[in-house]
Structure 1
């Protein structure tokens, strides 16, 4: 299913009672650094610590009672895992998560704490999609893909609605909305919402260096795959390739993509902690890294930056602060 703006508006109603309407915060510090008017959409303050709860809850809520009875299954390095685990817990549904063995411990612990079962795999040697498919075949559970799922994309798109609505209440409109990007489900939902609510706004996707499949895909007009499946500090953004549904949306809405290095992501984590007083994980700070590193020119512009997650292990935060 390819979602529409009506699906996103319906998702906003569906998740309203459980998801946090996260704040859109102005930042004078970033205004001074960039010469623009910068706002931060703080999904690191979302339930489960990332934006993923929105799409997960919308997907589980969309299932029939019969479908829920068989449980749900998903593959994730941690944020989608926690979102699915929490949504499943709220509905009393069993959840199985296929998770890389090197996923951050905070994300693994959060997934288990919410009642989901974890099946480990090796990013470098195992085929997570095949493993997930075998679980679906054995159990009849409903697969909820982390980004190539219209229900998930619609749920994530509610972020874009909120950004446009909150700026409109202040009599403003964004020139640029910049979001972290892995498989492209969230960016597609936001792009779809922004295109409907603020059509002159440009959406930029920030992805890790070495995992620039979106930039290459948008440039070529067809889905491109990454050469590797691990090796970035941005663990949440290492999708093997763009999801087909999201790619079609991002291409149609004219999204742009930039890459940030591990060092830039860690510098953004440290900046968020020291200056903004916010805890953000490296992948969640990718858009902020794109802004701070000058990948986009914010001078004289109104820019909304998405902080997409805050589930960071202490050793990674210490590494960022020591750099």
Structure 2
């Protein structure tokens, strides 16, 4: 075991604060990573405040991790000290079910082990995440980060990036398709970048006129203000695929009606309230409404390699570790373009 420093929530109503704990020594298949940067995901806030009613305290959030390898176990062959690597939302799975064998560990039939607030499959301990100085992860769940990319701006790719990349790839988005991206936040801005890079005609839907210019800058060919009923009516039946990244309550039928025959809308945003779906929004044109989680380890590595080839990273705002509560408050106001990333060099050692 070795001493580690982090920031943790100790209760649902407690502010995140400095926290000292221990990490396991490397097992034969493990990689020990010095964390350089950690992205801030909205799910970090949900977990810290127990909004999903499953948090185990103390909770050290963070699952968008980029760092340097400092030590490897005896069986590790894919990494060596000094490598720039990443860790995303999961650090283990059963590895035996059909989904795991297919490289879809995010759909593990036993349940994947989360990077934080998960339970280690070997010793039963609760996992602690990336708001910390170091992490130890099995090599099978560590990713290689392209050296030509800004490592801080890579961090959000480990969640926001793969969450949007995976459905776009699964539904084979590409040239000749008209693709809608709903919402321009941490997820939506990556959806716009990927859909454009895949060669699709990209239309961003947003409720905010202030985001029109940014949507075009990020790669959208067109931006539609979804509060404009006439503008929405003009788009009816014109889309092959729509990626909905909105996590707030909204009228999903307004977007289903934009699909062509056999078009698909995939939900990646997770609104707290149920989304009522009118049957005729689907059946009149054989439309599909689907959902998607993150990606498995092979696809996440594919995504990182694609980003390296095409120079794609997240738009970020760097913060200090002690600014995390302010970042959470701003995130709730949608006051970030488009992902906060913690510079872990600002994490101060704690005194026991």
Q: With structure 2 as the length reference, what TM-score do the two structures score?
A: 0.32
Greater fraction strand: 2
Structure number having the greater helix percentage: 1
Higher Rg: 2
Q: Which has the higher contact order (CA 8 A, sep 6+)?
A: 1
